[in-house]
Homo-oligomer: A and B are copies of this chain.
Amino acid sequence: MASVTGPEIERLIQLLARLPGLGPRSARRAALHLIKRREQLLAPLAEAMRVANETVRVCSSCGNVDTSDPCTICRDPRRDESILVVVEDVSDLWALERAGVVNARYHVLGGVLSALDGVGPSDLNLDRLLARVTDSPVKEVILALNATVDGQTTAHYVTDLLAPTGVAVSRLAHGVPVGGELDYLDEGTLAAALRSRTRG
């Protein structure tokens, strides 16, 4: 390929191929798409990446990414400071914010405990979580972790970690997704939905 397109285009393709969702073939398509739209897309995207690279910070309080530290959410006085929502990743924080279902602050662990991947407690943002809960207005910690084995293992661990602080720890409910069909759900979800059935 280098002999066909020049090393500059080849380098662009190689870097694009490292984005999630793009493979070698789709990276080539994306590169051509960009080259054909230089003014409308390639130049603005190059500039947006340069700006993001210079301005984006990881919030030293909650682990969110933003252009300010502390992040917009941590600085927002309208947030309920008695509730702290613990998530695995920034993408989970964004998902909850998009849903607009909770007006609290967050704490990003940066992963979950995983024996298989060699992730231990020291690899997660746990010291800071304990510090935020101790001697603070936080009354409830909501563990919004994925319903996977590793996610639930981590939920157990965090629950034990926070027990001495006396804070209330809760988890997201298991059940039938809204709009979901029973026929497509696994037995574990059906059992959990039945166990936690509500009246009415």
Interface residues of A, Cβ cutoff 8 Å to B: 1, 3-9, 11-12, 15-16, 18-22, 26, 28-35, 38, 41-46, 48-53, 55-56, 64-68, 72-73, 89-91, 93-94, 97-98
Contact = CB atoms under 8 A, between A and B. Distances in A.
Contact of A52 (B28, B35, B53): B35
A5 B66 CA distance: 5
**A interface, by DSSP: helix, strand, loop or mixed?**
helix
Nearest to A27: B21
B32 A65 contact: yes
Contact of A45 (B6, B16, B26, B68): B16
A55 B4 contact: no
Nearest to A66: B6
A146 B64 CA distance: 47
A67 B3 contact: no
A2 to B, nearest CB: 9
A55 B18 CA distance: 22
Contact of A8 (B48, B90, B97): B48
B98 A12 contact: no
